Structure 1
């Protein structure tokens, strides 16, 4: 199975027609995407016992996300207010003070060694907000040393919340070398490193031990720097954009699912990723872009199921 760790919150989506409360959170969205792509997935999250927390838990269970390692927390559920503009682009305001997602203690984390986990994915606010971020970072460090499963991070920065650019640069500099696969958006990198090119940042990540670096570029597609240094590019899949909520998360889920199908996740992670062929990397990137495009064509973080993705990826005769 793939283990995903991080926030599972409520997106309060505001449109000209009103507002609605829907389950979200970047890691939770990645977990749902993986489950819909028929990958066994377990979410390591702190779920509030309030009404919003129960709504989130019901949503995850309904999507076949395993919650065996989820912690039932007394703190309130985090809320992200997502306001959509006329083109469906989302801007966010967060209500996070004292919320459940950020209160991890070492005692709440499972032992991944000896489990059926082949990969561990985390990122977003879970790796940025104290005190829980340090607990998850320590887990990443232990697992990188153990070298028993693939480690994945999605930066998914939130400058409206974590505003100190220099502190975020230092955090990213610490955390990136702990992962075998790192994904970011071009918007993440433009804010984090305003004077550096995307290519320069991706090359640096490779130098510090990242096997696979991925940068999504919205309507321009995505880049993937493979373990051998080859740069792969995928154009964006055409779609009528309803909104972009969860698009980056579904891309990440599609990427990890494609690698799992290739048996490229697991022990000896760097070797497994190095064994992926050039043609396979192109297919992995194409699947991730397709999953993201299908999500953009729907309202909210509603990733597609495997048969929907395969219908677009299978050549028509």
Structure 2
């Protein structure tokens, strides 16, 4: 079982067709992607009891995301206004003050020791916004020390919300040391480290103890720095883009699902990841890129199911 921790919010998607309220939030989108790829997944989230919170719970349950560890919170549900431009690319405005996602307390977190969890994934605003971010960071530190599962982080920075670049640099520097797998976008790194080359940042993370670093580059594909120091590159899958909502989250879900299929998640995580061959890393990247592309070809965060991905990967081989 893969455990995903973090926000589940409502995206108010605004386009030329009007606006619609759809379930979203980066960690929640990753969880749905994993479930659709037939990976057992449990979401550690704080879900409001308002109408939006009920909509989120229904959506997640309908997609076979396990909510046994979800907290039913008194605070309202967070809302992200996603405005689509003519090309389908989304820009975001967030309504987060006093909402449920960021109010974690240590007592609300489960004990992962002895559970069936093979990986813990989190990131995005959940690791950036107080007071809950520190609670989740403490959980990551605990699990990294225990060495009983793979710890994964997707930076997914939001400079429109957390504007302190120096503060974010310090946070990321601290948190990546707790992860075996770190994923970011080239846009994340361009804002976080202006003027720095992407491979140099990835190498720095490896020196800090990250086993595998992945950077997505939109239409330019993705880079992966493997545990042995080798760099792997995967081109983007050509697709007619409807919109980019949830594409990065779909990539992350596809990546984690591919690693799970290779038995590369679990205890002794560094050893498991180091055991993968170059061909296996290429296959992992290929699946992640395909899952992201198929999501871009659809409206909203609507990742594909396992059979669809398997059919296309089989046709390409």
Verify same fold: TM over 0.5.
yes
How many angstroms does 1:196 deviate by? 1.0
Partner of 2:292: 292
Alignment match, 1:42:
42
Partner of 1:140: 140
Structure 2: gaps spanning 5 or more residues? none
State the SS of the aligned residue for 1:281: helix
Aligned runs of 1:264-279 on 2, under 5 Å? 264-279=264-279
Which residue does 2:242 correspond to in 1?
242
Match of 1:19 in 2: 19
Q: Work out the CA distance in 2 between the residues paired with 1:80 and 1:130.
A: 18
Work out the CA distance in 2 between the residues paired with 1:254 and 1:288: 4
What is the CA deviation profile of residues 88-145 of structure 1, one whole-angstrom value per residue up to 9, with x for unaligned ones? 0000000000000000000000000000000000000000000000000000001000
Residues in 2 aligned to 1:91 and 1:214: alpha-carbon distance in whole angstroms? 23
Distance in 1 of aligned mates of 2:194 and 2:172: 15
Aligned to 1:282: 282
Q: How many angstroms apart in 2 are the aligned matches of 1:294 and 1:155?
A: 22
Alignment match, 2:251: 251
Q: Where do 1:2-151 residues align within 5 Å?
A: 2-151=2-151
Following TM superposition, by how much is the alpha carbon of 1:315 offset from its aligned partner in structure 2, in angstroms? 3.3
What SS does the aligned partner of 1:227 have?
coil
For residue 315 of structure 1, give the secondary structure of its aligned residue in structure 2.
helix
Tell me the TM-score normalized by structure 2. Answer: 0.99
Aligned partner of residue 260 in structure 1, secondary structure: helix
- 1:211 is displaced (CA, Å) by 0.3
SS at match of 2:267: coil
Computed over aligned residues only, the root mean square deviation of the Cα atoms, in angstroms, reads: 0.7
Give, in whole Å, the separation in 2 of the partners of 1:206 and 1:94.
32
Q: Distance in 2 between matches of 1:195 and 1:162?
A: 20
How far apart in 2 are the matches of 1:160 and 1:107? 31
Deviation string 1:35-72 (CA, Å, 9 cap, x unpaired) is 00000000000000000000000000000000000000
TM-score, length-normalised on structure 1?
0.99
Q: Distance in 1 between matches of 2:191 and 2:308?
A: 34
- Cα shift at 1:195: 2.4
User: What is the match of residue 225 of structure 1?
Assistant: 225
Q: For each residue in 1:230-253, what CA deviation from the matched residue of structure 2 results, as whole angstroms up to 9, or x when unmatched?
A: 000000001100000000000000
Q: Which runs of 5+ in 1 are unaligned?
A: none
Report the Cα offset of residue 316 of structure 1: 6.0
Q: Secondary structure at the match of 1:170?
A: helix
- Partners in 1 of 2:140 and 2:244 — Cα distance? 29
1:201-233 per-residue CA deviation (whole Å, 9 max, x = no partner) reads 000000010000000000000000000000000
- In the alignment, the residues of structure 2 paired with residue 138 and residue 227 of structure 1 have an alpha-carbon distance, to the nearest angstrom, of 25
| Cα distance in structure 1, aligned partners of 2:17 and 2:121 | 35
1:156-184 C-alpha deviation (Å, 9 max, x unpaired)? 00000000000000000000010000000
Structure 2 CA distance, aligned partners of 1:144 and 1:5? 15
2:298 aligned with 1:303: no
1:252-306 Cα distance to aligned partner (Å, 9 max, x none): 0000000000000000000000001100000000000000000000000000000
Aligned residues: 317
Q: Which runs of 4+ in 1 moved over 4 A?
A: none
How many angstroms apart in 2 are the aligned matches of 1:315 and 1:306? 14
Shift of 1:149: 0.1
Aligned-partner Cα distance in 1 for 2:175–2:135: 12
